[in-house]
Amino acid sequence: MIKNIGIWIDTKQAVIIKLSNESHSIKTIKSNIDTRERVPGESKKFGRFGGQYMTFEKNKLNKRNDQTNHFIKNLFKEVQNCNSIVLFGPSKMKTIFEKELKKNMQLGTKLVGVFNAKLLTENQMVAWVKDFYKK
């Protein structure tokens, strides 16, 4: 059975379209990545003990990297048993996922393309993936 997968990926979610013969299935995975997070106590950039400056940039970056890695692991679970994968979407998350796919020995060879795409409805995504694999 041939399983082709198209993934529309964004920072907020990934829509996985699985094509097998003439049928298709759609699954949406939320990323849970906080893009605009406010840390309590962040308003002051300095401590009360003089010239000691505190920043929360490193904490935010570490938390965002952990959330991104968790999101990518969830996507890997969905694409294990497939013949080919195509990525498309508007954000840079598709290039991050592409790099992780290429690091994986099993899935790196199954990636057939990465393309830019706008915000699409589910029907448009399914049509895009079907058109891509008809070529």
pLDDT value at 86 more than 60? yes
Residue 1 has pLDDT above 70, yes or no: no
5 beta partners: 18, 85
Tokens 């840390």: give the residue: 39
Q: What angle do CA 12, 18, 19 make, to 5 degrees?
A: 145
Could you give the 3-state DSSP secondary structure of residue 101? helix
Indicate the number of domains in the chain.
Answer: 1
In a domain, 87, yes or no: yes
Is there a domain that residue 67 lies in?
Answer: yes
pTM for the whole structure: 0.81
Tell me whether residue 110 is in a domain: yes
For residue 22, the 8-state DSSP code is: T
pLDDT in tens, 54-74: 666 778 888 899 999 999 999
Query: Is residue 129 one of the residues assigned to a domain?
Result: yes
Residue 38 is assigned to a structural domain of this protein: no
The tens digit of pLDDT for each residue in 8-63 reads 999 999 999 999 887 899 999 999 888 776 656 555 555 566 556 666 677 888 88
Three-state DSSP class for residue 99: helix
Range of the domain at 124: 3-33+43-134
Q: Domain holding 100: CATH number?
A: 3.30.420.60
